[in-house]
Structure 1
Amino acid sequence: MVERKAPQDAAWTAVDDYIVDRLIPNDPAFVRDANAAAGLPDIDVSPAQGKFLHLLARSVGARRILEIGTLGGYSTIWFARAVGEGGRVVSLEINPHHAAVAVSNLAAAGVGDQVSVLVGPAVETLARLDGVFDLVFIDADKPSNVAYLHEGLRLSRPGTVIVCDNVVREGDVLDTASDDPRVIGTRALFEAVAAEPRLSATAVQTVGTKKWDGFLIALVD
């Protein structure tokens, strides 16, 4: 989630609540309470988005997932559930406090053994990683989006799915004159993906409890 300007639409939240009530009985909702108690910002993906990421990972048979931006581990739990026993999630977090909360949440969810939370600036951590991942989820500081994309590609194979969060930013992605580093980084991401011949991509706008935003989804050819 990003910092919001426009007021929330009550209908968007009501529909998300309807979806969760009927389709997501196993939402790890305790994470949001634990995060709030620990002073973490409320910027996780929504339950519907978390379940979407989970199903996407399962649909491509992902066994190794790279997540850039752990926060309190909410989306990490969804990914760990997707890879199952024997699978692996590597999640990168710059803030040691956030990482500690995430490790606690992962243990409480019963998936701690499937996840490695690596603490430090993600660009530096990524440079030390090797191997191949089946899915890469980019959800960290937006000015570094292009660097994360390049590292994600280095750690990918044909068929790897790369997902980037917060790419619509309440329509601010259209603002060519914006001086917001997050908007500039997001627009640079679109340009980098468009210029990369190895990627087939689209982006989908979303509304809900996280207001108006969206995902970019790319497939490595």
Structure 2
Amino acid sequence: MKLDILVFAVHPDDAELGCSGTILKHIAAGKKVGIVDLTRGELGTRGTAETRDEESAESTRILGLHVRENLEMRDGFFKNDEQHQLKVIQMIRKYTPEVVLCNALHDRHPDHGRASDLVYDALFLSGLAKIETQYEGKSQKAFRPRLLLQFIQDRYIQPDILVDVTEFWDKKLECIHAFKTQFFNPDNDDKQTYISSPEFLKVIEARSRELGKSIGAVHAEGFTSKKLLGVNNLFDLR
């Protein structure tokens, strides 16, 4: 299946927090969107890899994704090396997306920046014909997406582009709350963590409102780019 947008997220729930509004908006516009999670988030303090699998499946249903896969890399210990790059290249060549979204360039959680570097390097290498990969016994053709953007996570980074997600904010929250072991849930008495406090989701909302105000919207999601971005005409900008 060819996708329009492919999201690489190191942990299940990263995409929901960082760019689910953008995902929902593009699916509503008829685009095909998928997520590839790099790990199962098995090192998370709350819940288990199995509960994260269940929560991810529920969020996938809410999002209406066309596909979601998990590469089952080691949470916390994966590397940006040839072995891991080839796994990402396989997914890029399998789904041939025009646009790729991935984790923040740098963040509080060291996995986020390392995953961003991994995807950035793999995306370039995926376009080199002399790097041979196979998927399910079949040779894959070289392919490089035309655009890579990084979504903003816990640490504030000045965005290069903003997407108005006002219409999809409530459904974004629904996707986030699908991860009921990870985020604030008054019925969950597990050990509290940095992201399980009610204040954490308030910060997520406050940031979306701050970014939205910059473009005359109620809510927006921000993205960064390592390359300059262009448009066909000035009237596509606001």
- Quick check: which one's helix share is greater? 1
- TM-score, normalisation: structure 1: 0.42
Higher Cα Rg, which structure: 2
Greater RCO between the two (CA within 8 Å, min separation 6)?
2
- TM-score, normalisation: structure 2: 0.39
